[in-house]
Amino acid sequence: MRGALLSALVCAAIAMGGAKAHDLKPGSIQAALAGSVSVLPQWPGLPQGGGADIPPGVAPEGTGYAFDGSGHLVTALHVVDKAVSIDVRLPDGRIVVAQLVGGDPATDIAVLKIEERLSPLPDAPLPAPGENACAIGNAFGLDLSVTCGSVSAVRRAGAGFNAIEDFIQTDAAMNPGASGGPLIDAQGRVIGQLSAIFAAQADTNIGVNFAVSARLVRRVAGDLVAFGAVQRALLGAGFAPLPREMRAVTGGVSVRGVRPGGPAETAGLKRGDIVRAIAGRPVYKPQDAMAEIYLRRPGEVVDMIVRRDGDEITIQIELDGLK
């Protein structure tokens, strides 16, 4: 676990929420379950599934789902990063060996590879708050189960779990066992990957749960499959929160520094500018800006809405890559 009050799920699972069965497209849950797996890592010094000091079926296990039709699965990195070996339990009950393709500590996303071919789960567009959401996870190591609720918020950043956060917040309940599992919409499409919860003194659900957005999962896992690591785009600028007196005038973040010769300076961004939006995404804190840039690849061009001397201007910046 990652702490008492801010507790990421070593593995997360599910308890009932609020969406009703008739709100879901027929067969959507079954199709999503058919593309989901229980992840069974063996951690150093512990037998698979835990040890004598861990209640049976509690940990360390997790969840994953099919990313493509070539045997690649996505899961949460914290489920498998310490593992000496990894198995997955398929929907039909068979247990097969999985290999770790790669992981990204900044986002807590990992990719596994198995020989079996499962049907990949399609991605959903960005949902709206109030829409249905169902979580699929390996509840307390008891194998896959489903809980439903709603989308509470989108584009959450700065929750304190990962360096880069682009979370979908949901009240679909999660408890130890579900990390890495899919959060799906009413059509069975992936909204996000189950990742973390706010918990009070214990890793039990209190209805404030987070899934990495499907967009960020696609971005990171795609690079892990293709390159083994994330190809990061660089802006060449740093951000700071606005002082309280400025927040009475405008939202946004302040540009605290610009790297000489970098993409931001080349495009005309200046120290002291106030960035209000990046690529159409409102920016309220530095973590919002960091997430939106991380979602981009080197060479992409982003529009930045900037407030300067009381005027609002648009700056186009072509992002650089790590050299």
The DSSP bridge partners found for residue 63 are 38
Phi, psi of 239 (to 5 degrees): -125, 155
Rounded to whole angstroms, the Cα distance separating 58 from 55 reads 6
Catalytic residue positions, numbered: 78, 108, 179
Contact by Cβ (8 Å): 118, 35: yes
Using a 10 angstrom Cβ sphere, with 0-12 exposed, 13-18 middle and 19 or more buried, the burial of residue 125 is exposed
The DSSP bridge partners found for residue 137 are 145
Three-state secondary-structure class, residue 62: strand
Nearest to 286 by CA among 259, 308, 313, 257: 257
Q: Where are the alpha helices (DSSP H) in the chain?
A: 28-34, 77-80, 214-227, 244-247, 263-267, 286-294
Q: Which residues contact 260 (CB under 8 A, 6 or more apart)?
A: none
Phi, psi of 275 (to 5 degrees): -90, 125
Q: Which residues contact 80 (CB under 8 A, 6 or more apart)?
A: 39, 41, 62, 86, 100, 103, 110, 112
Strands 209-213 and 167-170: antiparallel
Contact by Cβ (8 Å): 250, 243: no
State the amino acid at position 128 in one-letter form.
A
State the amino acid at position 315 in one-letter form.
I
Phi, psi of 204 (to 5 degrees): -125, 150
